[in-house]
Amino acid sequence: MPQNTTKIKKCLFPAAGYGTRFLPATKAIPKEMLPILTKPLLQYGVEEALGAGVGNMAIVTGRGKRAIEDHFDISYELEHQIKGTSKEHYLTEIRSVITKCTFSYTRQIEMKGLGHAILCGEPIIGYEPFAVILADDLCDNDGGDSVLSQMVKLYEKYQCSIVAVEEIPAEDSNKYGVIAGNEEESGIFRVTDMVEKPEPKDAPSNLAIIGRYILTPDIFDIIRETKPGKGGEIQITDALLAQAKKGKVIAYKFKGKRFDCGSVDGFVEATNYFYNKSKA
């Protein structure tokens, strides 16, 4: 089967992490279910995928994440309680998401890194190109094409793996995968090197990968061969480097804003941003 010519139909959401930075809130609630205003982070991600024409959600969960499955399902009791009342509209958005998408779940049994989480999704994804959204990177392009939509369009042209990148201050390089590349078009780089969480002195540029990827399915075999890297974990950055060495990774400086909702500061910033937007 040709691996790189298919349309992107599936989006993988790694959602097995513990969310330790948000304890005690995340003791019994998955971090992906923390809300920005009234909507869980993961629902923002699912809506972004859906808006990009990607309707099949592949969610990699772990222990204690059942609330995610319940969220993307009908709650008969709730439906019954509010049907015909003035409160019914609160469910409109989530009902629409549920009817337009499919949701498949698999579990990551051990936390062995983002690369490993993505590999756990292989049985759901199969052998076709797919998107990856890290729900704690919340993106918004203020009415324009979402970050994933921009990337899906780019995939039609480049037919290879794509990572979304943004410029970061030098001192933050140890929080991200950082790339080096040659700019082929404005904001589009052919990646030549990538390093997971380098110290500022070792960073190959100031372009950091954020939680949006399009991956070609050969990545699964590469991940299987990838040795544990930074933090003793199997890193997707290291697996992508093998594709990059063959000229098969594009880094794309996306249009829009991105909030690091995995940190309390970014979470508060996103909350204020969406609150102000809702009042505008």
> Which stretches of the chain bind ligand G1P, using CB under 6 A?
114, 134, 137, 176-177, 196, 208-211, 235, 237, 262
Nearer CB in complex with ligand G1P: 129/262: 262
Count Cβ atoms within 10 A of the Cβ of residue 195 and give its class: 0-12 exposed, 13-18 middle, 19 or more buried: buried
Nearer to ligand G1P, 36 or 94 (CB): 36
Residue 208's nearest CA partner among 251, 174, 167 is 167
Cis peptide preceding 40, ω within 30 of 0: no
Q: Report the number of secondary-structure helices (H) and strands (E) in the chain.
A: 10, 13
Report in angstroms how near the CB of residue 49 gets to ligand G1P at its nearest. 17
How far apart (Å, rounded) are the C-alpha atoms in residues 166 and 80?
45
3-state SS class at 200: helix
Residue nearer to ligand G1P on the CB measure, 161 or 237: 237
Smallest distance from ligand G1P to CB 249, Å: 13
Find the shortest distance in angstroms from Cβ 242 to ligand G1P.
15
- CA distance linking residue 68 with residue 78, whole number of Å: 16
Residue 94 or 234: which CB sits closer to ligand G1P? 234
In the complex with ligand G1P, which residue's Cβ is closer, 210 or 219?
A: 210
Q: Which is nearer to ligand G1P, 94 or 262 (CB)?
A: 262
Distances (CA, A) of 63 to 16, 106, 111, 176, 235: 7, 11, 11, 26, 21
- Give the DSSP H/E element, type plus range, for residue 66: helix 66-71
CB of 93 to ligand G1P, least distance (A): 25
Using CB positions, name the residue nearest to ligand G1P.
Answer: 177
CB 165 → ligand G1P: shortest distance, Å? 9
Minimal distance in Å, beta carbon 258 to ligand G1P?
9
Sign of the torsion formed by the C-alpha atoms of 241, 242, 243 and 244 = positive
Q: What is the DSSP string of 110-127?
A: S---HHHHHHHTHHHH-S
